[in-house]
Amino acid sequence: MTRVKRNQSTRHRRKKKFTIVQGCRGATSILYKTTNQQFCKSLNNAFIDRRLRKRQYRNLWICRMNAKVRQLGLDYHSFVDKNPFSHKLNRKIYAQLTLQDPHLFQAL
């Protein structure tokens, strides 16, 4: 069987990960094994944080709605239950209305 040299492909594959983990300090930016570990960890954290971002924005919208509704003398849950538009408008739209057009929000 003939010998296959994989020098170029290995170097290119490793170099891609080195460029992604370039801002790290210490051995992480120099040694391939620690670079690979940091690369996998960063991908995992990005996966988790994409879901956390959605959760945090939802909490922010609910807090904004709750603050505005309490000024009107209700609480958040009773507002959502009694509002006839609650199935048509989502929390993001309500939160934007509280900031941009409070008079329209009061009309709701």
Q: Judge if pTM exceeds 0.85.
A: no
Share the mean pLDDT of the chain.
Answer: 85
Which range has highest mean pLDDT (29-33, 35-39, 104-108)? Answer: 35-39
The mean per-residue pLDDT over the stretch 17-44 comes to 86
User: Does the pLDDT value for residue 44 go beyond 90?
Assistant: yes
Which pLDDT tens digit goes with each residue over 46-88? 999 999 999 999 999 989 889 888 888 888 888 878 777 766 7
Contact, 105 vs 94, CB < 8 A? Answer: yes
pLDDT attached to residue 99: 81
Mean pLDDT of 78-103: 80
**DSSP 3-state of 85:** coil
Count of other CB atoms within 10 angstroms of residue 36 = 15
CA 50 to chain centre: 4
